[in-house]
Each structure stands twice: as C-alpha cells, then as structure tokens.
Chains A and B, each alone.
Chain A
Amino acid sequence: MAPPEVQRTRAIHVTQEDVRRLCEFLYRRTGMSFDDNKRYYIDRRLAERITATASNSFQSYFATLRSDAEHEIEHLVNAFTVNETYFYREDHQLRCMVSNLLDDILRRKTTGESIRIWSIPCSTGEEPYSIAMWLMENWSEVDKYNIEIVGSDIDTRALKAAADGVYGTRALMRLPRHVIERYFGRIDGNQVRIDPGLRDSVQFTRVNLIDARDMALYRDFDIVFCRNVLIYFDDASRRIAAENLYDCLRPGGYICLGHSETMSRISTLFRVCRFPDAIVYQRPEADHDDS
C-alpha cells in the first residue's frame, strides 16, 4: 500500500479562470458541461488528476491534458463520470426502446424477420443482459418475435466475464426484487450468477469500434446501444466510429448514446429523435437528396 502522503492530493492553487478554461476544453472535447456552481465537484477531481500526473501547476496539467499524454483525457473523463456499471443503468433508454423504438422498427419488418440489438461496448455484460431482462419484463409482445442480442467489446477479459455471468450484488442495486429472483442465482453472500437461459441468449464477440474491417462484419442491427465510449475518442476516431455505426444499422435503425454524448456534434449522418423517455439517433431510411 502506498504511504499516506503519496495518496493525498496536492494543494495546488487553481483559479476561477483555470476552471473555466478546463470546462470549456471538456465541453468542446467531450460534450460534458459543467458550470461555476459545480466548482467543488470540479476542484476535487481536478486535484486528483493533478496529483496523479505529478503536475506542479494547473498549466502543466492542462498541457498534459491537451496533448493527451498517457491517455489523460480518458483518465479525466473517468474522474468526471460514473464508471461503475450495473444492471438497468440509464433505464430511460430501455423504456424508450419498448415505448417507441420497437413499434417503429416492427413497422418495417417482414413476417418472421428477427429484431437485432447490439450492445457495443458491452464491457462485462450488464447492458446486453439488461436489454434482455427489460424486454422480458416490460414488452408484452416479446414472445411474438425472434430477438437477437449481441454484446461486443474490444476487451477480451471483459467478454469472458460477460460470458461467465457472475456479478457482485452491488451490480443488482437498480433491479426490483422479483427480477433478481427470476434471473439470478445466489453463489454466496456477495456474488450471483445470471440464469443460464438468459446467459445463453446473448452472443458475445470481440470488436474494435473504429476498425472498419472488424465492423464491416456486423450489419442489419435495428438498435445499437453505444453508450459512454465516444466521449473518449478524439475527433477523427469519432467520425470513423459514427460512419462504422451507420453501416451496422438497418435504414431506420436507432443508436442510443450515453447521457453526456450527442451524435449531432460528431456527425450529421443521423437524425435526432426526441421521445418522451430519451433522445436517440436514427439512421435515415433513405438519402433525401440522392443524385
């Protein structure tokens, strides 16, 4: 364990103008918006990162951040966001899927055609399993259709954990008791295992979101959940990822991004759709000005 003095954050003077400079950079780079009334929240996280990077001033830290040395943008974004993943996270989008997206998708389906849903990145599997559970619990038409759910990530360790389906009880914090009882079996006081039937209903694969060759193998999805990953990318990678995702969707298909992300800042390829429960992005059914 590191000695206490190393763990402590260093007291480096940060001015109001420094904070504004940081916030403007964060907004432009990631879309995350913080104003002056979050000063304490910002100061704490900023001090943590200044200490972690051994910077001796805000200016030195900001230079490290701008050059993205040692992936500092990713570290800072992590400090400003909730990294913990759990079942039914951002469930307003799952509500939107059932209340609005599926009806529209079914309008374009022929008899017997599957509904295809992709969770990328899926990390350790909480998201694709949440999609499956939400559909089972909240969509009255779930038994009328074949539904394919694919979970993909670049991290093969995360994928192995996803396929194992073993979780700490903390990951269940947003789930109603009856859902836990239906889909999880207790291993011990701290761990549960997801129902084998549910586990086998999700296919896990390794994919790099900005590798066009990887992504070219995935097509015809109706809904893609791509949450909290684009904010980590630089502008060029975001453009490439947006084009890759466009190709993975069926015309009229939807993308759900994380709450701090907006596709319109990244690309004009998608239409913004405002539904009561969520703002999502749609691949247009056709080009309006085809030549």
Chain B
Amino acid sequence: MPFVRREIATTPVVSKAPDRSLETHLAGLSSTDSEARWSAARALGGRADAVAALAEALATEQVPRVREAIMTAVMRVGNEASVLALLPYLRSQDAGLRATAIEALQALPDAIAPFMPKLLADNDADVRLLAAELVRNMPAKDATRILCDLLQNEQAANVCAAAIDVLAEVGTRDAVPVLQACAARFRDTPFLPFAISTTIARISNTEG
C-alpha cells in the first residue's frame, strides 16, 4: 500500500508548538511579514494584557486575514477593553471590516450590553442600524426592551427595519404596542408596516 504512517513516538506527525513570550508576540504584531503578524495575533488570543496592542495593530493592519485574526484574538478576551477596541470599526468604510467587527461583538452579548444605549442613540444612523443587529444574541426580554426603546423614537426607516428584523426572531409580545405605533408612524413607507405585521404575527403568542 502507498500509505505511510509516521508514528508519533518516533517521527512525529506533529511538531512541537513554539513557546514564545508575550513580548515576542507583541513585537510580531508590527512585523513587516504578514505571516508573522498573523501568528502573533493568533498567539495573543484571549490575553487581556494584549488587548491594547491588538487594538493598535488593528488600526493599521491592511491584510484582511490578519485583521480577522486580530479581531478574533480581541473577541476571545471578551471584556470591556475588547468591546472598546472593536467598536470603532462599526464606523469603518470597509464593509468587510464592519461585518467582522459585528460578528466579533455579537459573540460578546454580556460585554456589549452596557454600551448599547449609547450606540442606539448614536448620531450616525448606520451605527444605530448595526447596533440593532448586536442585540440578536441577547436574552429575549433584554433584546425586546432595548429594541422597543429604540423604535419609540427612531426616525430612520432602515434602522427601524433592522430592529424589526431582530425582533421577529428574538422579540416577545411586549413589543407589539411599540411595533403598532411604529407602523402608524411609518404608514407612508409601505415596507415597514408589512414587516411589522409579519413580526407581530410571529411574536404575539410569545410569553412576555
């Protein structure tokens, strides 16, 4: 048979993982070699003492896969500093970067919760729209309350649509009155009353 089997005890299939210090990895983040930056970001995943350096590297990193690795590394820490490092990318002009930031932040529902009121009141409608998406992984009651607060005063139809889409999945019937009011407010924007009627049909039987 053409198959060869390398026994780990003699000639390992595996090679020993390199063991480097925090300083070495931090230095790797600013290497001119993208492979070294990638490896450094991967090695620093989950290290709270590296978040500041990761955030700094993220601001200048141009290679998409290295940016992803930095965001994953920051996400794995999952504390307030991680959220602060990722939030600026909700304003990025690069759609890929925005999407990666959203995914990373969505994985941190507890850490992002204290930031939600400010994000949902942001002057930039695009930030409010993305913030509505961040609510999707939160517990149903919290998500419903946060999105209802938004819908009560939101003037941008697209932001309302994003919130309504999330409510259709995670909302409870407590959102029905706010949704009805929103439909009345946007009666001249036909897609919103339609989306709202679909959402109400889905959540009216839920427990409040």
A residues lining the B interface (CB < 8 Å):
15, 17-18, 20-21, 24-25, 28, 57-60, 63, 66-67, 114, 132, 135-136, 142-150, 197-198, 200-203, 205, 212-213, 216-219, 234-236, 239-240, 243, 246-247, 267-269, 287, 289-291
Contacts and interface: CB of A to CB of B under 8 A. Distances in A.
Nearest to B201: A17
Given A59-B205, A235-B103, A289-B64, A200 B5 contact: yes
B3 A17 contact: no
Contacts of B75: 236, 239
A150 B201 CA distance: 51
Nearest to A141: B2
A152 to B, nearest CB: 10
B72 A240 contact: yes
13 contacts: A21-B169, A147-B2, A201-B1, A202-B3, A212-B45, A213-B17, A218-B13, A218-B14, A236-B75, A239-B75, A246-B65, A268-B68, A289-B64
- Chain A at the B interface: mostly helix, strand, loop or mixed? helix
Contacts of A20: 202
B37 to A, nearest CB: 9
Q: Is the interface on chain B under 10, 10 to 19, 20 to 34, or 35 or more residues? A: 35 or more
Given A17-B201, A217-B17, A290-B63, A197 B4 contact: no
Contact of A212 (B1, B34, B42, B205): B42
Contact of A205 (B1, B13, B62, B139): B13
Contacts of B205: 15, 18, 57-59
Given A239-B72, A269-B65, 4 more contacts: A202-B3, A243-B69, A268-B68, A287-B63
B13 A148 contact: yes
Contact of B42 (A58, A60, A247): A247
Contacts of A57: 205, 207
B2 A143 contact: yes
